[in-house]
Amino acid sequence: MRGLAARHAAAVAVTAFAVLPIVFVVSAALDPIGTLNSATLVPRGAGFGNAVKLFTTTPFWTWYRNSLVVSGLTAALSVAVSALAAYAFSRFRFAGRRAGLVSLLVIQAFPQFLAIVPLYVIFSAISDNWPEFGLDSVWGVVLLYIGGQVGVNTWLIKGFFDSIPKELDDAMLIDGCSHTQAFRRVVLPLAAPVLAISGLLVFIATINEFLIASVFLTGDDARTLAVGLFGLLADQRNANFGMFAVGTLLTAIPTVAVFQFLQRYIVHGLTAGAVKG
Amino acid sequence: MRRSFVALTACLTLTACGGGTAGGETSGDASPAGQAASSATLTIWADQMRSATLKPFAEAFAKENGIKAEVVVVAQNQQQTFVTASQAGKGPDVLVGAHDWIGNLVQNGLIEPIQMTEDRLSGYVDVARKAVTYDGQVYGVPYAVENLALYRNTDLAPEAPKTFDDLVATGRELKEQGKVKEIVGYPVSQQNGQSGDTYHLYPLYTSGGGHLFGTKPNGDPDPADLGVGTPASVAAFEKIAALGEKGAGALKRSFTSDNSAAMFAEGKTAFLVSGPWRLADVRTAGVKYDVTPVPPFKGGGPARSFVGVQAFFVASKGRNKALAQEFVTNTLASDEVAKALFDAEPRMPALRTALEYAAAKDPDVAKFEAAAKDGVPLPAIPQMVAVWQPFNALIHSVVKGDPVEPAVKAAGKAIAEQLGQAG
Amino acid sequence: MTVTHGSGLRPGRHGSPSGSGGAASGGGGARSGAGRSRTTGPGSTAATLGRVLALGLIVGVALWAAAPLVSAGNRLGVGIVAVVTAAALYVYLSPRRLPAKYLLPTTLLLLAFQVFPVLYTMSLALTNVGDGHLGTKQEAIAAIEASSVRREAGSAEYRLTVAEQGGALVFLLADPARRRAYAGTADGLREIGGATFGPGGRVTAADGYTVLTPAQAAARGEEIGSLSVPVDGGAIRAQGLTRAYEGRATLAYDADCDCVKGGNRVWRADDEHGRFTAPDGGALPQGWKVGVGWANLTAAVTNPKINTHFLGVFAWNLFYAVAVVGLTAALGVAAALVLHHPRMRGVRIYRTLIVLPYAMPAFAMLLVWRDMFNTDFGLVNRLLGLDVDWLGTPLTARASVLLVQLWLGFPYMFLVATGALQTIPAEYLEAAQVDGASAWQRFRTITLPLLLLALAPLLVSSFAFNFNNFNGVFLVTAGGPFPSDNPTVGATDLLITYTFRLAFGQQGAQYGLASAISIYVYLIVAVISVAGFRRTRAFKEVR
């Protein structure tokens, strides 16, 4: 019994560590005096003043929609593209395969945001020719993010593909299916966990990204949550912590939703690839 | 199906990139013809607040001239984004920004001088006119002026302090009586809490006898005459250190612009050093207040606050330069627009007639104007970039209580090295 | 397509495992041959259809992409579209099983958004590009001349009306004081009669001239800007569309001496540093981009101001990444173990709450943490009743950024560890218990090794991420605190935050030097990630 009590004590401590900062944000969101340093764990009054102010003085829902579109598209497309490449690396044997895998890793080590100037050159050329994919367009930034994450995802997914017995898709091939069919009907369904987890990781990374977004998505209608919320605090003159806190909590909702939706795959997806054998 | 789609998007990407390398060569002959055929779009970049204010004026101008106008919000790193975008040919025609960007934008060849007659120039308050003049040329049309002043809670401290020493004495007394928690709300740190705030500390530094740069005959700051590291600057920082964490405890690194204002609004301190942008907060809080100039040290020189001027710039690489000049020098510089801008957003106007109008509507505007009397424009020379980081760090060291002289000398050395490197 | 194949194949799928399992090489090969012949009929129709579709799509997209390039006469662009289209056609129309079918999208994305930027960055490292040296020499000269045009002191300002005569642009200039009108062209100024003045003294009509509407004038903005009407000692230029002034360029470029002359001073072009310098050492502010060879790359290694800090920053960076991985893993595993007990109640609630930090937007929470560390107003000190200057001293600042990253990162480790614990077969532990192993022994010899096995790839990727964790440091401490004797490098600076400040920070952009340093950072990270993966099983399969 004493063991259990100790366990509860430890669990409470860890939970407190995890939750206290969030409680602080919740309190600040409700607190009518929305200043950062006077905020307390228990709000001095509860109201939706900050929320109302956020919705009326900023294009918050536009930011929200943009973030969802950018993060959702990036996650879905990046997983799709990476899964294709991972399949080739996992199931084909071809000249340059090893070099390809290593160079994926090496190329990916360069942080995109250090190359803002070259990227701007690319995007201004795209804007000249195909404005749909250029500056201030969601599609352009989505492609950019995919390019920045496809290498890591390919590695992650390839590792999982390797753990799916090759005999399964061999059997399909033997039966006269094409590689494409083997991929679609055997490998992909079995790899659902890792696809879910890499999708979630990309989603979270994208919704948090603000350095690139703040340069390439400047238009009134194009900004994302990260850029918009950061602006609320960064503006020295009009910093409003209360509004920022409301926005932060609302930003967590899609992540939690995606997380809940993918949860049944996730724990399995994180471990299955590694624990095999 | 998905595969083809992915291939499709990827295809686009690479071809797009190909366009990048060659685009620069060809855009020159392609764009003007296309531009002339359709009606032009005047693009204006501004921050969030300003864009809302400017939109109606830009739209009215567009309608009058049979063109289109677009006001784009650039939320962060406006100057950096403007430089990158302009260099890539994607910049705006008009930029709204702070006058201290001028030096950097001029060395990058990105803004145009604006020609105004002496008559028209004299319509602006002196400090604004000086601020937008760089190397003898006017580079922006000023529209709002901002500077620091002292807010005082008149319930707690009915008398305006004559010197900063009086202020600290009063604040300390109130603290001992338990009426306030802090002596003064003085933003020592930048918003991120990580480095000192040169802008806010400058009045004390100058009152203590320090200066950053000397002045050239044409009125620009002279980078060859660096004032940091001199005995005068050490003396100035000794006075600041005396108020710091190991001294009187009036200046603390934990104070930022934000929390100082919050303290004042909650009545936890009787004094606040801040600018007109805090008026709205202070009024909302319902504190009885008065605004006076930042007081100097006892026996010290005047406490000069930095004056920041918001101005309209005409971009050199904009596509509609003539329109941009027209909009900036005629529409935005007009008396009616300047008044309307004030009505839309209460910032102290740079145009004298609008300033009178504003002062009549809001007595606080006149008080901030009085506080600007001793002010100096924030240096616009590009060499200022060498100053910020060392000086910010210096402020933190001194307020923290580190030995003053070595810190000042080290900062002076760091700035000088950086200047030599950049030179 | 799926349906027909599925029904046709079902019997075969049942049969295959036994067949291929036993005689993999011989039997399997024969079967696959048979299988192919069996599906040739419907398969080829579908495949042909698929190829026609692919062909249509690729060609359609290529045409769409090429159209603007062709109309702009962009030959290089068209060439690249052609090459990519050809590659796509070859890969997707070929009946062979090419791995390239799967790799092409990834390859193209990487080429465009990783490889090209890296190469471009490397090329920037060989130049002095940065503030004051952004463009070409021509651009610098144009900027110097344009900004040197000064209004004649005391000269009158003209009210301008833009007009045309036979298609050529004419400035109709009114001198409001004297109520006179002039027509100005590139040939000069001449007075005109018969002009009608409107409000504000502008000319509204004049015989023989067609006054342009504002929209028409706006459309010819470039012409208006470049027209200067020569007058004695200067020229009249437009300032916008309704005003004109008399001014003079005080600086002029002289191609013969490759110098800028003005007054009695001369600034000679210094093509090594990309600027015009006078004999007295003064330089014109507008410079241009020039190649500097390896100077930036060697400066990063040899300049004592940079390299002494480079090592220190590198050491802390390494420590930071290792410590974050270690701490998050330790706390995550510990929390998972605490909750992993059959009689433990409320596990679901604990679990949900502990995972919450992971769901919060990290950029926002980093800012929140930053303010919670404030000495006088921060929640940390207020809650614990302390007066610690968290972010103000090197040691506490480092501890703070680690603590923040621990908070952000441990829920993820907790999740994985929870999952892994459930996969450890209970029999192992029971058997060990029967053998008399203590709880600690069971943990050390069975649970921990299995857990670590499950966590290994995660630890490696976590290390790679944290080694370059820009937000984690930049948003909390911005690299600080900075020592007063060297304000360029802070105690919590990672290589990446240091490089970022160099390129975009308050010191003014020095892209050339920053590019050189980012290449070094890149090499370090690349070596570390390859080395890291080499140690995991994942990499062994590459061979």
| Gap between the Cα atoms of C500 and C494, Å rounded | 10
| Gap between the Cα atoms of A71 and A63, Å rounded | 12
Chain C, nearest residue to A200 by Cα: C359
Residue C124 lies in a domain: no
Question: What phi and psi, each to the nearest 5 degrees, are found at residue B299?
Answer: 75, 5
Note the pLDDT tens digit of each residue in C6-42: 333 233 333 333 333 333 333 333 333 333 333 444 4
User: Average pLDDT for residues A223-237, to the nearest whole number?
Assistant: 76
Taking the Cβ of residue A211 and every Cβ of chain B, the question of whether any pair is shorter than 8 Å is answered with: no
* Lookup: tokens for C92: 């997707």
- C274 with C198, same domain: the answer is no
Q: Which residue has the tokens 């802008």?
A: B199
Tell me what pLDDT residue B129 has.
92
Tell me what pLDDT residue A100 has.
86
Question: What phi and psi, each to the nearest 5 degrees, are found at residue C288?
Answer: -140, 170
Tell me what pLDDT residue C9 has.
29
* Lookup: tokens for C41: 């009929």
Is the CB of C361 less than 8 angstroms away from the CB of A156? no
pLDDT at B23 over 50: no
pLDDT at A270 over 60: no
| Gap between the Cα atoms of B175 and C326, Å rounded | 46
Taking the Cβ of residue A203 and every Cβ of chain B, the question of whether any pair is shorter than 8 Å is answered with: no
Give A85→chain C minimum CA distance, Å: 5
- C480 with C362, same domain: the answer is yes
pLDDT at C265 over 70: yes
Note the pLDDT tens digit of each residue in C404-436: 999 999 998 888 888 778 777 778 888 888 888
Residue C128 lies in a domain: no
Residue C311 lies in a domain: yes
Is the CB of B83 less than 8 angstroms away from the CB of C134? yes
Please confirm whether the linkage preceding C449 is cis (ω < 30° from 0): no
Q: What angle in degrees, to the nearest 10, is found between the helix axes of A138-163 and C448-467?
A: 150
Residue C527 lies in a domain: yes
Taking the Cβ of residue A172 and every Cβ of chain C, the question of whether any pair is shorter than 8 Å is answered with: yes
Give A244→chain C minimum CA distance, Å: 8
Banded model confidence at residue C43, pLDDT cuts 50, 70, 90: low
Neighbours of chain B (3+ CB pairs under 8 A): A, C
The residue ranges of DSSP E strands in C353-448, in sequence order, are none
- Residues of B within 8 A of C478 (CB-CB) are 192, 194-195
Q: Which residue has the tokens 């995802």?
A: A153
- Residues of B within 8 A of C61 (CB-CB) are 8, 11-12
Q: Which residue has the tokens 């109130």?
A: B174
Q: Which of B248, B201, B231, B149 is nearest to B391 (CA)?
A: B201
Tell me what pLDDT residue A44 has.
66
Secondary structure class of B254 (helix, strand, coil): coil
Tell me what pLDDT residue C539 has.
46
Query: Which B residues, 130 through 189, put their C-beta within 8 Å of a C-beta on chain C?
Result: 135-137
Is the CB of A234 less than 8 angstroms away from the CB of B76? yes
Tell me what pLDDT residue C225 has.
84
- Residues of C within 8 A of B323 (CB-CB) are 218, 221, 240-241
Q: Do the beta carbons of residue C143 and residue C251 sit within 8 Å? A: no
Secondary structure class of C505 (helix, strand, coil): coil
Give C189→chain B minimum CA distance, Å: 20
- C398 with C273, same domain: the answer is no
Best mutation site among C239, C277, C375, C475 for testing chain B: the one with the most B CBs within 10 Å? C239
Tell me what pLDDT residue B24 has.
34
Least confident of A37-51, B79-93, B288-302, C381-395: A37-51
Distances (CA, A) of C369 to A210, C295, C407: 18, 41, 10
Sign of CA dihedral A113, A118, A120, A126: negative
Is the CB of C132 less than 8 angstroms away from the CB of B113? no
What ipTM was reported for this prediction? 0.85
Q: Which of C260, C299, C253, C255 is nearest to C282 (CA)?
A: C260
Is the CB of B114 less than 8 angstroms away from the CB of C239? yes
Is the CB of A127 less than 8 angstroms away from the CB of B6? no
Q: Which of B12, B114, B330 sits opposite C242 (nearest CB)?
A: B330
Tell me what pLDDT residue C8 has.
30
Taking the Cβ of residue B64 and every Cβ of chain C, the question of whether any pair is shorter than 8 Å is answered with: yes
Tell me what pLDDT residue A195 has.
86
**Third-level CATH fold of B40-146+308-377:** D-Maltodextrin-Binding Protein; domain 2 (3.40.190)
- Residues of B within 8 A of A216 (CB-CB) are none
Q: Do the beta carbons of residue C313 and residue C390 sit within 8 Å? A: no
Share of chain B above pLDDT 90, in %: 48
User: Average pLDDT for residues C221-227, to the nearest whole number?
Assistant: 85
Q: What dihedral angle (degrees, nearest 10) is formed by the CA atoms of C393, C399, C402, C404?
A: -80
Q: What CATH architecture applies to the domain B149-304+382-422?
A: 3-Layer(aba) Sandwich (3.40)
Indicate the pairing of strand C259-262 with strand C252-254: antiparallel
Query: Which C residues, 268 through 327, put their C-beta within 8 Å of a C-beta on chain A?
Result: none
Is the CB of A128 less than 8 angstroms away from the CB of B6? no
**What spatial distance separates the first Cα and last Cα of chain A, rounded to whole Å?**
37
Is the CB of A85 less than 8 angstroms away from the CB of C363? no
List the domain boundaries for chain A.
Answer: 1-47, 57-275
Q: Do the beta carbons of residue A236 and residue B191 sit within 8 Å? A: yes
CATH superfamily of the domain spanning A57-275: MetI-like (1.10.3720.10)
Share of chain A above pLDDT 70, in %: 87
Q: Which of C77, C239, C507 sits opposite B418 (nearest CB)?
A: C507
- C347 with C206, same domain: the answer is no
Secondary structure class of B190 (helix, strand, coil): coil
Question: What phi and psi, each to the nearest 5 degrees, are found at residue C327?
Answer: -65, -45
- C444 with C343, same domain: the answer is yes
pTM of the model: 0.81
Is the CB of A113 less than 8 angstroms away from the CB of C470? yes
Chain A, nearest residue to C68 by Cα: A129
Q: What angle do CA A226, C513, C490 make, to 5 degrees?
A: 60
Taking the Cβ of residue B252 and every Cβ of chain C, the question of whether any pair is shorter than 8 Å is answered with: yes
- Residues of C within 8 A of A159 (CB-CB) are 457, 538
- C259 with C347, same domain: the answer is no
Indicate the pairing of strand C252-254 with strand C210-211: unpaired
Q: From the centroid of its chain, how far is CA C408?
A: 24
User: Average pLDDT for residues B233-255, to the nearest whole number?
Assistant: 93
Give C12→chain A minimum CA distance, Å: 6
Taking the Cβ of residue A88 and every Cβ of chain B, the question of whether any pair is shorter than 8 Å is answered with: no
Share of chain C above pLDDT 70, in %: 87
Taking the Cβ of residue A230 and every Cβ of chain B, the question of whether any pair is shorter than 8 Å is answered with: yes
Residue C119 lies in a domain: no
| Gap between the Cα atoms of C251 and B290, Å rounded | 51
- C228 with C263, same domain: the answer is no
Is the CB of A231 less than 8 angstroms away from the CB of B6? no
Tell me what pLDDT residue C102 has.
86
* Lookup: tokens for B279: 């008026």
- C181 with C270, same domain: the answer is no
- Residues of A within 8 A of B20 (CB-CB) are 121-122, 124-126
Look at chain C and report how many structural domains it folds into.
Answer: 4
- Decide which of C30 and A119 is more confident: A119
Taking the Cβ of residue A242 and every Cβ of chain B, the question of whether any pair is shorter than 8 Å is answered with: no
- Residues of B within 8 A of A130 (CB-CB) are 12, 16
Beta-carbon contacts of residue C255 (< 8 Å; ≥ 6 apart)? none
Q: What is the CATH number of the domain that holds C510?
A: 1.10.3720.10
Q: Which residue has the tokens 């495992």?
A: C17
| Gap between the Cα atoms of A85 and A152, Å rounded | 11
Query: Which A residues, 242 through 261, put their C-beta within 8 Å of a C-beta on chain C?
Result: 244-245, 247-248, 251-252, 255-256, 259
| Gap between the Cα atoms of B315 and B140, Å rounded | 10
List the domain boundaries for chain B.
Answer: 40-146+308-377, 149-304+382-422
Share of chain C above pLDDT 90, in %: 10
Least confident of A266-275, B93-102, C85-94, C415-424: A266-275
Domain hosting residue C229, numbered range = 150-249
pLDDT at A275 over 80: no
Would you tell me how many other CB atoms lie within 10 Å of the CB of residue C346?
Answer: 13
Residue C323 lies in a domain: yes
- C41 with C172, same domain: the answer is no
Q: Do the beta carbons of residue C251 and residue C148 sit within 8 Å? A: yes
Q: Half-sphere exposure of residue A75, counting CA atoms within 13 Å on the CB side?
A: 25
User: Average pLDDT for residues C106-113, to the nearest whole number?
Assistant: 88
pLDDT at B302 over 90: yes
Taking the Cβ of residue C383 and every Cβ of chain A, the question of whether any pair is shorter than 8 Å is answered with: yes
Q: What stretches of C340-393 show up as alpha helix (H) in DSSP?
A: 347-359, 362-372, 379-384
Beta-carbon contacts of residue A245 (< 8 Å; ≥ 6 apart)? A25, A26, A28, A29, A34, A39, A50, C368
Best mutation site among A114, A142, A172 for testing chain C: the one with the most C CBs within 10 Å? A114
Q: From the centroid of its chain, how far is CA A148?
A: 12
Taking the Cβ of residue A139 and every Cβ of chain C, the question of whether any pair is shorter than 8 Å is answered with: no
User: Can you give C294-315 as a three-state secondary structure string?
Assistant: CHHHHHHHHCHHHHHHHHHHHH
Q: Which of C371, C420, C526 sits opposite A109 (nearest CB)?
A: C526
- Residues of B within 8 A of A180 (CB-CB) are 3
- Residues of A within 8 A of B266 (CB-CB) are 33, 38
| Gap between the Cα atoms of A183 and A83, Å rounded | 10
What DSSP element (H or E) covers C260? Answer: strand C259-262
- C213 with C309, same domain: the answer is no
Q: From the centroid of its chain, how far is CA B298?
A: 28
**What spatial distance separates the first Cα and last Cα of chain B, rounded to whole Å?**
59
The residue ranges of DSSP E strands in B234-305, in sequence order, are 271-274, 289-292
Query: Which A residues, 51 through 80, put their C-beta within 8 Å of a C-beta on chain C?
Result: none
Would you tell me how many other CB atoms lie within 10 Å of the CB of residue C539?
Answer: 20
| Gap between the Cα atoms of B236 and B238, Å rounded | 5
